[in-house]
Amino acid sequence: MVGTIYEFLPFGVAVATAIYYGFKSGIRPWILLALVTAGMVVLANNSLSFERGIIKDVEQDVLTYVGKVALIVVYGSFIALPFTLKTSKFTQFLMFWSIGTFIAYTQAGEKMPWLTVNVVLPAIVLAANTLNNIVMSIDWRKAWRSQAGMALVGVPVFYIMLWKIVFHDLGEGTRQFASAWAILAILGLLLLALQVLASRIGRSQALGIAGLITVVIMFGFTFRAGWVASFENGDIPREMLVYTQTSPDIHNLAKEIEQTAQLTGDRSELKIAIDIRDAYSWPWQWYLRRYTQVTYNDHSSDEVEVAEDRLIAVINENNNDKTAIKLPDGYSDGRRLKHRWWFPEEYRDMTPEIFFDTFVDRNRWAGSVDYFLYRKLSNPLGSIDSYVYFSDEVPLVPAK
């Protein structure tokens, strides 16, 4: 999932490379792909059976055994696939490395976003090798004389037309017919232009030029995804790369605490109470490392209360109801803030049935496209919050 959002360029080129050599290598790779498909069908069927609870205890043991055999068939066929392709030993190795790494991290128990680097690295090398082979195989002078430069306009227009016909409402009645006819006519003319170019410089070179322009377009989307993840949503878990993250509310509150220390004149001796339920001591132990009068207690216990000399109290939301009524007099109303937040994980409920229903229903694609392009989510971010209370003894102007 993370790869399709951020590393679609190297993965896409790697998959295209495998398909290209698959068509050049006879029947053997397709036999292995048939075994992979059969194994995945068995695994999907087993998953549905377990999910629906329609199996008995004896059947469960049989299905578990069959599932393990199917998984071995899927993994084994994938690993053997590169060695059936008619290509260089180096390319075979890169494909084996890419597939083997993907399988290893798929089977591994820990699946964190930062492990994408390990998975995508061999795909990046494979994609780079493929692009190098394409660039070196093209006679650029001949291509330029044959007006291959027109592909710089034609290829983007082709994708725009595909986008319009797949994702946009073309209207109704006559307007729909006219729009669809115009788009299909443009697509037909562009394909005809590609065929003309192929007749002049060869099919492989024409397709290679179209492929390189496609890679440039994909690079633009890759750069944008990296920029947004780094500079716009760097600590906001709308990005799957962020995973679980301390929210900006904590950093802002740390600044308020520093300002309060200046207002009171207490400096590093400002008296603060931190509720540490759910590991809330972090990151406060870092932000408040220079403060000497901070108490860290789990307020889940009925015996723990906020001392009267505390000027600031930060309470876990799960303890807030019972702690708020025991606060000493003279505290402001609690202000809610997000402590940690994370990407909504509804995808964990994904089943083969839901996946394939979504895949064939065009109306359901909009959500995926909105997230891919704009990071729009259909569900709110998950979070675990806290409340902050300030004593009325905090002055509004700096203490003299």
Cα–Cα dist 62/366, whole Å? 40
Provide the residue range defining the domain that includes 179.
138-232
- Do 386 and 249 share a domain, yes or no? yes
Same domain? For 386 and 295 the reply is yes
Q: Is residue 326 assigned to a domain?
A: yes
The residue-averaged pLDDT of 254-282 equals 92
* Burial classification of residue 237, based on how many CB atoms lie within 10 Å of its CB (0-12 exposed, 13-18 middle, 19 or more buried): buried
Looking at residue 17, the DSSP 8-state letter turns out to be H
- Residue at which a domain ends, from 174, 202, 232: 232
Are 218 and 260 within one domain?
A: no
Q: Which has the minimum average pLDDT: 33-47, 117-131, 346-360, 369-383?
A: 346-360
Cα–Cα distances in Å, from 31 out to 71, 75, 239? 16, 14, 38
Asked if 313 and 359 touch (Cβ cutoff 8 Å), the reply is no
Average pLDDT over every residue of 48-63:
59
In a domain, 372, yes or no: no
Residue 217 shares a structural domain with residue 143: yes
Helix/strand/coil for 97: helix
> Could you give the percent of the chain with pLDDT greater than 70?
93
In a domain, 294, yes or no: yes
Name the 3-class secondary structure at 272: strand
Domain count, the chain: 2
Query: Are residues 266 and 326 both part of a single domain?
Result: yes
Query: Which tokens go with 277?
Result: 């339920």
Cα separation of 214 and 152, whole Å?
A: 10
Q: Are residues 180 and 300 in the same domain?
A: no
Report the pLDDT value the prediction gives residue 397, as an integer from 0 to 100: 67
Residues 183 and 259 in one domain: no
Candidates 352, 332, 341; CA nearest to 377 is: 341
Residue 167, token pair as written in the block:
């994702």
Do the beta carbons of residue 315 and residue 386 sit within 8 Å? yes
Does a structural domain hold residue 12?
Answer: no
Domain check: are 149 and 227 in the same one? yes
| 284 and 190 within one domain | no
Based on the domain organization, do 331 and 305 belong to the same domain? yes
Q: Are residues 160 and 297 in the same domain?
A: no
Rounded to whole angstroms, how far apart are CA atoms 178 and 114? 48
Residues 220, 274: one domain? no
Strand pairing category for 312-316 and 294-297: unpaired
pLDDT band of residue 223 (cuts 50, 70, 90) is very high
Q: Is residue 323 assigned to a domain?
A: yes
3-state secondary structure of 310: coil
As a whole number of angstroms, the distance between CA 156 and CA 186 comes to 12
The pLDDT of residue 51 is above 60 = no
Answer whether residue 194 is part of any domain: yes
Confidence (pTM): 0.82
